Amino acid sequence: MEKSVLVPIAHGSEELETVTIIDLLRRADIKVTVAGENDMVTFSRGVRIIPDILLSEVPEYENFGAIVLPGGGQGVDNFLEDDHLLEIVKYNIRKNNLICAICAAPLFLTHHKLIDESVMITSFPDMGEELNHKNYSEDDVVVSGNFITSRGPGTAINFTLKIIETMTDMKTVRRVAKEMCYKY
């Protein structure tokens, strides 16, 4: 599996999830590209982050080992309106790459019909009904085929460690967890 990850960010994305994803993946020596809708993105609680690149500059047919969508209600609403992001995700699904979504972000997958009912997913608890997905779990992290989903900020570490495990190996997961004094 390609060891590169795209993390799109938009106004209103959830900062704890986003920073956890970026930080842990980089600790695992995975190349992370943070792609924002603007030169500076303001998150759900006012934190501002400068992305590596504008999302509009990411080629629609770029192959990533994984695409990881952080949650945050407003951020996900902005993702839903972004046709360019949709094309990037569709291309990577066709390439059987890992597609990961946490909190409200699984809505991007169901809204655009990117997964069928056989894929088990989870999300932020309040999102369950809105997702309108038959195969729904209340587990913290769910792996189903090439999809990994998770509940929210409190599950972001385990979510990201599962992505690392899928992209690398348990030795890398244990190293990253140990560096953070985290038991996994």
Q: What percent of the chain has pLDDT over 70?
A: 99
Choice among 6, 101, 103, 148 that is catalytic: 103
pLDDT of residue 182 exceeding 70, the answer is: yes
Q: What is the mean pLDDT of the chain?
A: 97
Instruction: State how far the Cα of 60 lies from the Cα of 180, in Å rounded to an integer.
Output: 35
Whether the CB-CB separation of 7 and 68 falls below 8 Å is answered with yes
- 181: Cβ contacts below 8 Å, ≥ 6 apart: none
Burial of 118 (0-12, 13-18, 19+ CB in 10 A): exposed
Average pLDDT, stretch 49-61?
A: 98
Assess whether pLDDT exceeds 90 at residue 160: yes
Domain span at residue 130?
Answer: 4-179
Is 151 part of any domain?
yes
103 is catalytic: yes
Q: Where are the alpha helices (DSSP H) in the chain?
A: 15-27, 73-80, 83-94, 106-111, 128-131, 156-167, 170-179
Name the domain count of the chain.
1
CATH at residue 89: 3.40.50.880
pLDDT band (50, 70, 90) for residue 1: low
Our CA angle for 76, 89, 105, nearest 5°, is 25
Q: Which residues contact 122 (CB under 8 A, 6 or more apart)?
A: 106, 136, 137, 138, 139, 140, 141, 142, 149, 150, 151
Confidence band for 2, pLDDT divided at 50, 70 and 90: low
Among the listed residues 56, 59, 105, the one whose alpha carbon sits nearest the alpha carbon of residue 79: 105
pTM over 0.85: yes
Kindly state the average pLDDT of the residues 149-165: 98
Task: Name every residue whose Cβ is closer than 8 Å to that of residue 82 and which is 6 or more positions away in sequence.
Answer: 8, 10, 37, 55
The rounded distance, in Å, linking the Cα atoms of 128 and 125 is 6
pLDDT tens readout for residues 73-118? 999 999 999 999 999 999 999 999 999 999 999 999 999 999 999 9
Which DSSP letter does residue 48 get? Answer: E
Q: pLDDT tens digits, residue range 10-38?
A: 999 999 999 999 999 999 999 999 999 99
Q: Tell whether 184 is covered by a domain.
A: no
